[in-house]
Amino acid sequence: MSLSFGLLGVVALITGQWVAGGLLLSSWVIAGLGSVAVCRGARHRLAIHGFTIAQHAWAQALWTPAVTALVLTNIAVSWTTRTIAWRGITYTMLSPQHVVVRRGPRVPAPPPQA
């Protein structure tokens, strides 16, 4: 849900709909506050049983917007490129049936089969 609100909020801001964009992006703030509440509750509950954790609740509040922004960036990149680099091998998708595979300089070719 946060992803769709984030995407709609960014689109609204790009198109000049400032109020709608701000309201949609406020879901990130609400989700962050919920994460802080869960973190504090867990820390309190663990403290009752004698456990302590060195975790800061404010850091939990930043995860929701950070992860959503990362997902939105990955979606935008996937819409604009046809190339994937993975483990030193580059794949270029020309069509669903045609993929060009290029090996990087550090990846050895597989041994010939006998």
User: pLDDT by residue for the chain (114 residues), tens digit each?
Assistant: 556 777 777 788 888 888 888 887 777 778 778 878 888 888 888 888 887 777 666 777 677 777 777 877 888 888 888 888 888 888 888 888 888 888 766 656 677 776
How many domains in the chain?
1
Sign of torsion over alpha carbons 71, 14, 1, 43: positive
The range of the structural domain enclosing residue 73 comes to 2-103
Residue 15 inside a domain? The answer is yes
Residue 113 inside a domain? The answer is no
Residue 21 inside a domain? The answer is yes
Ramachandran angles phi, psi of 98, nearest 5°: -130, 115
CA distance 9 to 30: 14
pTM of the model: 0.46
Residue 19: both structure tokens together = 């109020």
Largest CA distance in the chain: 67
Residue 114 inside a domain? The answer is no
